[in-house]
Amino acid sequence: MGVKSTASNNATIFCNSKRFFRKLKEQKYLYMMVIPGIIWMLIFNYIPMYGIIIAFKDYNIISSFFEAPWAGLKHFSDFFKDDWFPIIMKNTVGISLLKLVFGFPLPIIFALFLNEIRNSTFKRTVQTISYLPHFLSWVVLGGIMITWLSESGMINELLVNMGILDKPVAFLGEPKYFWWIATISDIWKGLGWNSIIYLAAISGVDVELYESAIVDGAGRFRRMWSITLPSISGTIAILFILAVSGLLNSNFDQILVLRNSLNASSSEVIDIFVYRMGIQSARFSYATAVGLFKSVIALMLLLLANWVTRKLTGKSLF
């Protein structure tokens, strides 16, 4: 009941004239669609947000959120002063950028090429198979990867036999390989799954466009480039903006299983650090502070990416 009044409060802030009511009447059906969603967000997203204040407090789960003593910006400065801070920032951003540069376009390219397959049975089979890895859990997959990437594992066997390597390398033991291992395995796991949304977008492309292109003598690449790609650019733009805003996120499950004491210098990322410092040792305020830091950066990145994308392509989130 508190929620209902807040919704109308909102409305009054927006506009206070008669025009408002006329427009409201015109748009009443649209409002009937939108308002339930707004109410849902107020209840399920906004009410619990008071939890954020513990980032500025010394919260201990026995006391309530409001009783906990204030700590100011202590947790933030602790985080920035930590010896690990520059390392984890470098690794988080580094891995994310690699995933963005390679992992973002590949599903699009895969979807484009898959779309060009003529035999529809083959096309469906390929697509079904390509999305299977998404369902392997990282805990189990990580175990398999550790075995395969070890000095006596099958990857080394293969590479040595093919003459690419002189002697086996403990891939997971060398910090310099870690970013790439994380990126490649992530792409591998998500390629088919992430291409689904592009395939859905492609299926909405008007067939007449292709037909007229063929009449004009456009080849396959030409058609992909100037018909399919522009037609799905709205979807691409939105997913790109969202991907950029996730720059400080990392694949927690994946990195948790692949990291070890030898590659720590390149595998320690924010999410793992928060887990170790915050959740394992029950330092809630600290973990919340780091989470808040991440959220603020993400929001800024989103607005930035949205602005840049709009300037460049005219497409945007809002």
Partner 1 sequence: MKKVYLKLIACISVILLLASLFVGCTSDKKENDSEEEVSSENGNSAAQEKASEDSEGSEKVVEPGWKKDTSPVTFDWYVHFSWYNYNWGETLISKYVQEKTGVSINFIVPAGNENEKLNTMIASNTLPDFVTLGWWEDGVRKMIDGGLVYSLNELADKYDPYFYEVASPQVLKWYEQDDGKTYGYPNFAVAPEDYDKYEKIPSNQTFVVRKDMYEALGKPDMRTPEGFLAALKAAKEKFPEVNGQPLIPIGLHEFTDTGNYSLESYLANFLAIPREKDGKLYDFREDPEYIRWLKTFRKANEMGLLSPDIFIDKRAQMEEKIAQGRYFAMLYQRTDFVAAQQALYERDPNSIYIAVDGPANSNLDPPKLAGPGISGWTLTMITKNCKHPDRAIRFVSYWLSEEGQRDMYLGRQGETWDIIDGKEQYLPEYAEMARNNREQFDKVVGQDPLWMLGNSLIQMRWAPEPGPAVRQLEEWTYGKAVSYAIYDNLIPPSDSEEGIIASRIADLWGQTLPKLLLAKSDEEFDQIYQDFLKKRAEAGYEKLLAWQMQKLEENKKKLGIK
Partner 2 sequence: MRRKFLARRTKGEVVFDIVNTIIMIVICFMMLYPVWYTLVNSLNDGTDAMLGGIYWWPRVFSLDSYKAVFADSKIFRAFGVSFFRTIIGTVVHVFFTSMVAYGLSKRYLMGRKYFMAMGTVTLFFSGGLIPTFLLYRSLGLLDRFVVYIIPAMFNFYNLLIFQAFFREIPDALEESAKIDGANDFYIFFKIIIPLSKPVLATIALFTGVYHWNDYFAGVIFINNPDLQPIQTFLYRVIAETTSVHMLQNMPAGIRTTSVTSHTIRLATMIVTTAPVICVYPFLQKYFVKGMLLGSIKG
**Per CB under 8 A, which of residues 51..110 are in contact with partner 1?**
58, 60-62, 64-66
Nearest approach, Cβ of residue 90 and partner 2 (Å): 22
Nearer to partner 1 (CB atom), residue 49 or residue 164: 49
Task: Report CA dihedral (35, 37, 38, 40) to the nearest 10 degrees.
Answer: 120
Burial pattern 37-71, b for ≥16 Cβ within 10 A else e, equals: ebeeebeeeeeeeeeebbbbbbbeeeeeeeebeeb
- Partner from partner 2, partner 1, none binding residue 212, C-beta < 5-8 Å depending on class: none
Nearest approach, Cβ of residue 47 and partner 1 (Å): 5
Binding mask 139-158 for partner 1 (x = CB under 8 A): ----x--xx--xxx------
- Partner from partner 2, partner 1, none binding residue 304, C-beta < 5-8 Å depending on class: none
Nearest approach, Cβ of residue 222 and partner 1 (Å): 38
137 part of the interface to partner 1, by CB under 8 A: no
282 part of the interface to partner 1, by CB under 8 A: yes
What burial class does residue 270 get, using C-beta atoms within 10 Å of its C-beta: 0-12 exposed, 13-18 middle, 19+ buried? buried
Nearer to partner 2 (CB atom), residue 24 or residue 304: 24
Pick from 6, 38, 89, 310 the residue near partner 2 by CB under 8 A: 38
List Cα–Cα distances, 284 to 63, 80, 138, 309, in angstroms: 12, 17, 26, 37
- Partner from partner 1, partner 2, none binding residue 302, C-beta < 5-8 Å depending on class: partner 2
Q: How far apart are CA 85 and CA 76, in angstroms?
A: 11
Amino acid found at 284: F
Residues 9-48 that bind partner 1 (CB under 8 A): 9-10, 13, 42, 46-47
Half-sphere exposure at residue 46, Cβ-oriented, CA atoms within 13 angstroms: 11
Q: How far apart are CA 130 and CA 182, in angstroms?
A: 19
Pick from 1, 2, 9, 33 the residue near partner 2 by CB under 8 A: 33
307 part of the interface to partner 2, by CB under 8 A: no
62 part of the interface to partner 2, by CB under 8 A: no
Q: How far apart are CA 317 and CA 237, in angstroms?
A: 8
135 part of the interface to partner 2, by CB under 8 A: yes
Nearer to partner 2 (CB atom), residue 93 or residue 292: 292
Nearest approach, Cβ of residue 284 and partner 2 (Å): 8
Nearer to partner 2 (CB atom), residue 67 or residue 206: 206
List Cα–Cα distances, 118 to 12, 44, 121, 122, 124, in angstroms: 57, 46, 9, 8, 11
- Partner from partner 1, partner 2, none binding residue 282, C-beta < 5-8 Å depending on class: partner 1
Residue 57 forms beta bridges with which residues? 70
Q: How far apart are CA 180 and CA 95, in angstroms?
A: 8
Pick from 173, 175, 234, 246 the residue near partner 1 by CB under 8 A: 173
What burial class does residue 26 get, using C-beta atoms within 10 Å of its C-beta: 0-12 exposed, 13-18 middle, 19+ buried? exposed
47 part of the interface to partner 2, by CB under 8 A: yes
Q: How far apart are CA 120 and CA 199, in angstroms?
A: 14
3-class DSSP state for residue 281? coil
Q: Which residues contribute to the site for partner 1 (CB under 8 A)?
A: 2-3, 6, 9-10, 13, 42, 46-47, 49-50, 58, 60-62, 64-66, 143, 146-147, 150-152, 170, 172-173, 257, 260-262, 264, 276-277, 279-284, 303
